[in-house]
Chain A
């Protein structure tokens, strides 16, 4: 059978390729492969990169194509890496061996770029790395790999330069702290900081880590405050950065803040208003860098897409032009000649020279020697303030800041309080899962995706109708209940008698489907609800609780109490409990099982209508945000006891507290293992969960 399928593939693919090449008029186009993530966690970035690649290609073609190749047009052959290394690799393979591209550009994240560029190296095809920062990419002696972006560790070099510059301006910076996302990106950049800053006499007094997607970073903020750092270096994506900046503001701690990369100069961040004013960001490129090529690019990009380009767009744009210029110089589509031409490329004017160095050129390792620039938020806009050669405005010096230290015992207290607040929020998500399981014996792997829908609903109610998220609950909850009924009627009803594994497959399929539909409709961008109260904190002695977290925790208690009451005191609750205990017994007593199931789904999914709007005002929403919570909710309901409300609440508090306390001593990745370790212990010692009354399934 495999032979048959591969044959069919062969003919289909050959047909597609043939029809594409027939459509093109002579001379043959110069084909350039573009590897970008159009799905997966980094889809939004991929879309932006693609826009810049396409803009460059249009400009090259409008200017008459590649003159040395008889006016050949540039044709981009785009492939989606799905943000996965092995997909990136096989797409690189496809672009080179099937589509016959002369060069490949890409592929955003280092984890995808590295395997893809190794394919290109094997095929002796030039690969221009547009934005990956891992140092080793241009340190392996590869002959066909080039990089327009700087090495990740060079950020540290430039930060040192900038600190010296600020010191010259009379700003005392003696104590520096780092806070970073404990994943590939944060680890790579912070490694550079930790290696290079101390060598230049800049002491790092604290190092805080977090996992991406944490709803509360108060503990980290409190520890940063306790370190009395003058400057906090942040390395993370824009989503987590907004959560961290809110937490810092709530702690009434205002150090100098210096973020890293595209995440820090992202328009989303400006929605934070005063919390972000005056903060710095180190970035590869800014739209106001004083260079003629930059101005031209920004104007063209805005005219084409209506938004301002971000730094990685400039790198993608420069990389596309670089291939065209190399083809012009080589007068050939041949990959080896193209590589040689790239080696000798030196562009100091024209569109490809928009990056902030004197000339775009690659050294013997293929690395472009380009530094970073420093941006600052001044009057609610990102402006370039350093180096002075390309700065559009002088740096705005902060006023003297008096720092009061917090006491160290307060950190543990803070961890406990924010752990409890987090736990209450988790309970809000987990209770629906446990209800549905308790009554219907179905584990819903798409639970988080319904939360995601509720979060989008909460966001749009606020953004389009101006409804406060708290009020939006009244609107979103009935909607979600309806979704629950529909879900029961169209899917779950048919899955009830299927084996467990088929039920799992159904809900998993649903989860994938909803995530990718959301990606199509809402794109991968993070959406943020910002209100005056989002940065407010309430001080309880030495401890600060953020206002929105307190509201969410309050609602969580209220909802759980209400549900418990309904279940204990009403006939409706009695029927539910009867079905949960014995489906057949209940059916024999004349209970309409179908109706009970419908209501259980309505209430189970409906609870997310409460959770969604509250959570979106604390966190942010994107198509993948639900997945962060599904797994956590599983852990919680099993620790507490599947099907038990009290269990969900206790489990949520345990998980919230464990995470929050663990992170005061351990790195965020190690701390993330703690809830799972607890889960394993519970499963082994008391598999029915802490609060369960009945036996196991």
Chain B
């Protein structure tokens, strides 16, 4: 089990947090939001931080997942057992099409980011105009007064916490396994130098596409969860550009070079903004603090909090060993 050390650590923390919050619906809500954004940020960062593909289009996949569930439930009474796999499948398929187009034409950096953003915006406006998907008004999921596990309807918050906690642990474990596999090394090689990697025989397009499809599937899964948890979806909340910004912020602040870095960002910032919102007298005070933190940390601590922490620990270890190694690349 030594190659799942991070996952085991994350699982232990998630479980502890879950137990700590389980008595209180308000803390459970914070726990759920933290896990939700944490999972999204981790999966987004597998693209951006570990494979070097900056996507601004991941809300599209969250939206596909969320709308599959909402539309299936409201129009056809389909249970999550059907709509979740549907949402994930559609997200992966959409990513396959978009990815094939973008990678076929060699889009990178800002250009890839803006292209994915454009796809996202097209979806946003198309849904806003689509009568079947409730246009800008969105879809209210049908709710019954009683619990209905089959339709993922619970009065209590903790079952949702259990689900999203499991998803988070699952995604981190899958990510860790991938990172330690050949695929993970290829991804990082592509991030560091695509030409060199290709020259050494890495099929760049195929591996980038694989990363895009995998993370899109995770985003679709999160979207499905969101629809069942909030019981309401509309274009602004699941297809909006804000969601991209959130994934980016958690990753930058947490640390993009590590699989679990973005999780650190989400764990710090999600509860932080909830608490700040509860105590600041200035409207938007939490967003002001947030914005300053983002701009400053991106410059001062470019490797993120997790990256800084790891680098410091390594430096100490080296000093203790009295090693002569000339410093560690952060």
Give chain A's interface residues, CB within 8 Å of chain B. 1-3, 5-7, 9-10, 12-13, 16, 38-39, 43, 46-47, 79-80, 82, 84-87, 89-91, 93-94, 97-98, 110-111, 114-115, 118, 122, 134, 136, 140, 143, 182-184, 187-188, 443, 491, 494-495, 498-506, 508-513, 516-517, 519-520, 631, 634-635, 638, 667, 669-670, 672-673, 676-677, 679-680, 683-685, 687, 696-697
Query: Which of chain B's residues have a CB closer than 8 A to the CB of A520?
Result: 282-284, 288
Interface contact A505-B252, CB-CB below 8 Å: yes
Query: Which of chain B's residues have a CB closer than 8 A to the CB of A676?
Result: 118-119, 121-122, 125
Query: Which of chain B's residues have a CB closer than 8 A to the CB of A47?
Result: 283
Mark B140-161 against chain A: 1 for CB-CB distance below 8 A, else 0.
1001010000000001000000
Cα A180 to Cα B48 in complex, Å, equals 40
Interface contact B278-A687, CB-CB below 8 Å: no
Give chain B's interface residues, CB within 8 Å of chain A. 13-14, 16-17, 20-21, 24-27, 29-31, 33-34, 48, 54, 101-102, 105-111, 113-115, 117-119, 121-122, 125-126, 128-129, 135-138, 140, 143, 145, 155, 226, 230-232, 234, 236-237, 241-242, 245, 248-249, 252, 256, 264, 267-268, 271, 274-275, 277-279, 282-284, 287-288, 290-296, 298-299, 302
Cα A61 to Cα B27 in complex, Å, equals 33
Query: Which of chain A's residues have a CB closer than 8 A to the CB of B29?
Result: 90, 93-94
Interface contact A111-B292, CB-CB below 8 Å: no
Query: Which of chain A's residues have a CB closer than 8 A to the CB of B293?
Result: 509
Known: A6-B20, A86-B33, A687-B105. A182 touches B287 (CB 8 A): no
List 24 A-B pairs, Cβ < 8 Å. Answer: A3-B16, A6-B17, A9-B30, A10-B24, A39-B284, A79-B277, A89-B230, A90-B30, A90-B274, A93-B25, A111-B138, A136-B140, A495-B299, A506-B294, A508-B249, A509-B291, A516-B287, A517-B288, A631-B241, A683-B118, A684-B101, A684-B102, A684-B105, A697-B110
Among A2, A79, A517, find the residue whose CB has the most chain B CB atoms closer than 10 A. Answer: A2
Known: A85-B230, A184-B137. A491 touches B295 (CB 8 A): yes
Closest A residue, CB atoms, query B236: A111
The DSSP consensus for interface residues of chain A is helix
Query: Which of chain B's residues have a CB closer than 8 A to the CB of A491?
Result: 295, 299
Interface contact A513-B107, CB-CB below 8 Å: no
Quote the shortest CB–CB distance from A46 to chain B (angstroms): 8
Quote the shortest CB–CB distance from A124 to chain B (angstroms): 10
Query: Which of chain B's residues have a CB closer than 8 A to the CB of A499?
Result: 302
Task: Report the 5 A-B pairs with minimum CB-CB distance, sorted nearest first.
Answer: A509-B295, A38-B283, A509-B294, A2-B17, A669-B129
Interface contact B295-A510, CB-CB below 8 Å: yes
Query: Which of chain B's residues have a CB closer than 8 A to the CB of A519?
Result: 283-284
Interface contact B299-A498, CB-CB below 8 Å: yes
Known: A38-B283, A508-B248. A114 touches B295 (CB 8 A): no
Interface contact A5-B267, CB-CB below 8 Å: yes
Cα A687 to Cα B57 in complex, Å, equals 18
Which residue of A84, A140, A187, A506 contacts B136 across the interface (Cβ within 8 Å)? A187
Quote the shortest CB–CB distance from A14 to chain B (angstroms): 11
Cα A667 to Cα B109 in complex, Å, equals 33
Closest B residue, CB atoms, query A114: B232
Quote the shortest CB–CB distance from B314 to chain A (angstroms): 19
Interface contact A90-B295, CB-CB below 8 Å: no
Query: Which of chain B's residues have a CB closer than 8 A to the CB of A89?
Result: 230
Interface contact A2-B26, CB-CB below 8 Å: no
Interface contact A516-B284, CB-CB below 8 Å: yes
Cα A293 to Cα B122 in complex, Å, equals 49
Interface contact B284-A38, CB-CB below 8 Å: yes
Quote the shortest CB–CB distance from B21 to chain A (angstroms): 6
Which residue of A111, A683, A685 contacts B111 across the interface (Cβ within 8 Å)? A683
Interface contact B294-A508, CB-CB below 8 Å: yes
Known: A80-B277, A696-B111. A115 touches B232 (CB 8 A): yes
Query: Which of chain B's residues have a CB closer than 8 A to the CB of A84?
Result: 236-237, 242
Interface contact B136-A182, CB-CB below 8 Å: yes
Which residue of B20, B26, B232, B283 contacts A43 across the interface (Cβ within 8 Å)? B283
Quote the shortest CB–CB distance from A567 to chain B (angstroms): 22
Interface contact B283-A182, CB-CB below 8 Å: no
Known: A86-B237, A506-B298. A679 touches B118 (CB 8 A): yes
Which residue of B121, B129, B296 contacts A670 across the interface (Cβ within 8 Å)? B129
Quote the shortest CB–CB distance from B26 to chain A (angstroms): 5
> 19 more A-B contacts (CB under 8 A) besides A38-B283, A79-B278, A516-B291?
A1-B264, A1-B267, A2-B267, A3-B17, A43-B283, A43-B284, A86-B226, A115-B232, A122-B155, A187-B137, A501-B252, A509-B292, A513-B288, A516-B287, A520-B284, A672-B121, A673-B122, A683-B105, A684-B102
Known: A38-B284, A115-B230. A494 touches B299 (CB 8 A): yes
Interface contact B24-A97, CB-CB below 8 Å: yes
Cα A98 to Cα B25 in complex, Å, equals 9
Interface contact A7-B20, CB-CB below 8 Å: yes
Interface contact B105-A39, CB-CB below 8 Å: no
Query: Which of chain A's residues have a CB closer than 8 A to the CB of B298?
Result: 495, 498, 502-503, 505-506, 509
Cα A143 to Cα B145 in complex, Å, equals 10
Query: Which of chain A's residues have a CB closer than 8 A to the CB of B268?
Result: 5
Known: A85-B237, A673-B121. A679 touches B136 (CB 8 A): no
Which residue of A10, A85, A631 contacts B121 across the interface (Cβ within 8 Å)? A631
Which residue of B113, B119, B128 contacts A182 across the interface (Cβ within 8 Å)? B128
Quote the shortest CB–CB distance from B199 to chain A (angstroms): 20
Known: A110-B137, A184-B136. A512 touches B294 (CB 8 A): yes
Closest B residue, CB atoms, query A186: B136
Query: Which of chain B's residues have a CB closer than 8 A to the CB of A79?
Result: 277-278
Query: Which of chain A's residues have a CB closer than 8 A to the CB of B295?
Result: 491, 505-506, 509-510, 513
Closest B residue, CB atoms, query A437: B110
Query: Which of chain B's residues have a CB closer than 8 A to the CB of A118?
Result: 143, 231-232
Closest A residue, CB atoms, query B296: A509
Cα A148 to Cα B268 in complex, Å, equals 40
Interface contact A687-B31, CB-CB below 8 Å: no
Quote the shortest CB–CB distance from B192 to chain A (angstroms): 12
Which residue of A3, A39, A508, A696 contacts B13 across the interface (Cβ within 8 Å)? A3
Interface contact A670-B125, CB-CB below 8 Å: yes
Closest B residue, CB atoms, query A491: B295
Cα A670 to Cα B245 in complex, Å, equals 24
Cα A400 to Cα B112 in complex, Å, equals 58
Cα A134 to Cα B138 in complex, Å, equals 11
Interface contact A669-B125, CB-CB below 8 Å: yes
Quote the shortest CB–CB distance from A348 to chain B (angstroms): 33
Query: Which of chain B's residues have a CB closer than 8 A to the CB of A7?
Result: 20
Query: Which of chain A's residues have a CB closer than 8 A to the CB of B237?
Result: 84-86, 111
Query: Which of chain B's residues have a CB closer than 8 A to the CB of A80?
Result: 277, 283-284
